[in-house]
Amino acid sequence: MLNRQNKPVIGISCGDLNGIGIELIIKTFSDNRMLEFCTPVVFASNKVINFYKKTLPEINFSFQVLKDIARPFPKQVNIYNCWDEDVNVTPGQQTEAGGKYAVRSLAAAVEAFKAGHIQGLITAPMHKNNVQSESFRYTGHTPYLKDVFGVNEVVMLMCAENMRVGLLTEHVPVKDVAAYVTRQAIVKKLQVMRESLQVDFGIDKPRIAVLGLNPHAGDDGLIGKEEEEQIKPAIKEAKQNNILVFGPYSADAFFARGQYEKFDAVLAMYHDQGLIPFKSLALGEGTNYTAGLPLVRTSPDHGTAFDIAGKNKADETSFRQSVFFSVERLEQRAEHAFNRSNPMKRMSVSMLTNAEDEKIDEG
């Protein structure tokens, strides 16, 4: 299992160069206590970091330029230069360069994970429009990471102290959502959520609620057919696969009456159906977690915030929480793997631990 002497190396992609991402990174890791929990590696350019550092004169932030990605400095913020050329940084402006280098940072972090140099990934916000290119045709981090790791399914899971909300569809126009509400899609999402809740959160028998698509969850087919034709059959199939799943629930009453508190996670049918109540009712700072990936990926629950970029107005609380959340998930994965490892090895470790405790007591 992870411990403070064996801190995880957390990669951080810088996001849009003209957004608030780098400001959040500087503010978060200006507190040296953060280095007790992880070793951060920021994939960016020290020139861009210094640009934003000058806009925050009252903040004491230091870093080391990392030349060998395999050997990060354990008690420093590490900056790994993904490019050497000068880049025109224009805070608050949506530019081609802002998106281009956001993608370069993200791709470098992914390669570092594949090579075994980082254990987790925190992604600062990037803009969905200016990242588009011949090599990047994705609506955000989640579909890109699903593709680049070649996994069958992932779930965008919004997490807070009192609730977890997963999405069936993410960045899909509302007029197209119904076409994505299929039995197969719902079952796949529920399978990923169940496994993630067990492995990443330590919940042996998670209870998952499913929301309906239509008002009043379709009213038995009077207000839309999706619940009867797709959602209910999906729930039935998931139950046959030993997933503790319930619903479909009418979204308005489900959140208004606090029913979400009875479940370990909720599957919403579309973006705003899940994120509006999440951002309204979540306790603490929310974290975006991608369930179903081989790496632990988190991000703050907000965007590039061009309107306040470069003005020293960005609040790093959600970003900081993403760091803690990443470390916690890595620890939970390690514990899960340990608990399911060779029982004789676990017994030996337990016996040695008990023997040491007895020596201490005798002393």
**C-beta of residue 27 within 8 angstroms of C-beta of residue 59:** yes
Report the candidate in 153, 161, 165 with the shortest Cα–Cα distance to residue 195.
Answer: 153
279 vs 162: CA distance, rounded Å: 12
Q: What's the whole-model pTM score?
A: 0.89
Express each pLDDT in 29-74 by its tens digit.
999 999 999 999 999 999 999 999 999 999 999 999 999 999 999 9
**C-beta of residue 129 within 8 angstroms of C-beta of residue 94:** yes
Specify the pLDDT at position 1.
Answer: 40
Q: Is the pLDDT of residue 284 over 90?
A: no
Q: Is the pLDDT of residue 294 over 80?
A: yes
Structure tokens belonging to residue 334:
């390690």
66 vs 237: CA distance, rounded Å: 50
Report the candidate in 273, 276, 180 with the shortest Cα–Cα distance to residue 234.
Answer: 180
Label residue 26 exposed, middle or buried (CB < 10 Å: 0-12, 13-18, 19+): buried
Q: What domains are there in the chain, each with its CATH number?
A: 1-151+293-363 (3.40.718.10), 154-291 (3.40.718.10)
Report the candidate in 25, 56, 48, 61 with the shortest Cα–Cα distance to residue 310.
Answer: 56
Contacts of 196 (CB under 8 A, 6+ apart): 155, 157, 291, 292
Around Cβ 99, how many Cβ atoms within 10 Å? 23
